[in-house]
Structure 1
Amino acid sequence: MSAPARAGRGVVVYRWAESTRLPTAGARRALGEALIRLGVEEEAREDAQLVLSELVANATEHACGPYEVRLQRILSGWVCEVEDGNPRLPELPEFSREPLFPPEEGSRGGGLDSLLSLLGERGRGLQVVHQLTGGGWGFCRTGETKVAWFVVGAAVT
């Protein structure tokens, strides 16, 4: 998971501080609105908002501000960045090649039930990020700060 092409050069879509109420919801809403304006398909927007929720929650819980969410254009779509004031890169878990939300016997597919139970367990958020982005995400240090980034699906033209 290497760094995005030009970390820190995107368009700011949301900023928050330690005192901001509900930063995850605010960031999710701001990203959704920006991606709608950019013509990104609904499924890619929804996945991006879930990924962003996890990265914003992690930044708010484990790092100091100021915090910022940015978007930058790449050839195949967009990169979303979450910058925080802690330059320390997190230790990454080992990621399984198996799907995180396999259908469960005796349920209506089990995918959503599996996802909700997984999200209820601490320490699994980056696994969800990895699954939803197909591995198109990572962290990089930018001087005195850190950027978590992920690739958002291609824009509709």
Structure 2
Amino acid sequence: MPASIDQFKTSLSLWASGVSVITYESSDQKGGVTVSSFSSVSLEPPLVLFCLAKLSKAKEAIESAGKFAVNILSSEQKQISADFASGSLDKAVVLEGLNPRKLSTGAPILQGCLASLDCLVHQIIDAGDHWILIGLVEAVATKEGSPLLYFNRNYRELV
């Protein structure tokens, strides 16, 4: 018998992770979503992945656009994470207010992030109640700073 959802979520909350915002812009939709389920997949070719709940409307826009950006947040960007995680804010308005820039693919890149990875959609995999989206990294931007972390259902910083 599998672990209960509550037990599973509690155990996963004890995994400290960085915080990323996935940004996207298709012909008719733009926005972003906060994720902690981000990982590298391959160096050659350079591939990354993140997971989206099937309830998320972002998957269709990302699939339609064929591109997205992974923005790895700094410790100074807690509010950006909270805004893109909010269920009540219009993510297109949030994105516009941050004046994103563009790199190679034209996906919106957030300013001030520790790293931004500009990706083309490589593969989308159906996995339970989530989608696994794999991106081919076309360009990157980095800067020095301290990461925003998420642990035990709270934002944390390195000390």
TM-score normalised to structure 2 length: 0.31
Q: Which has the higher contact order (CA 8 A, sep 6+)?
A: 1
More strand by share: 2
More helix by share: 1
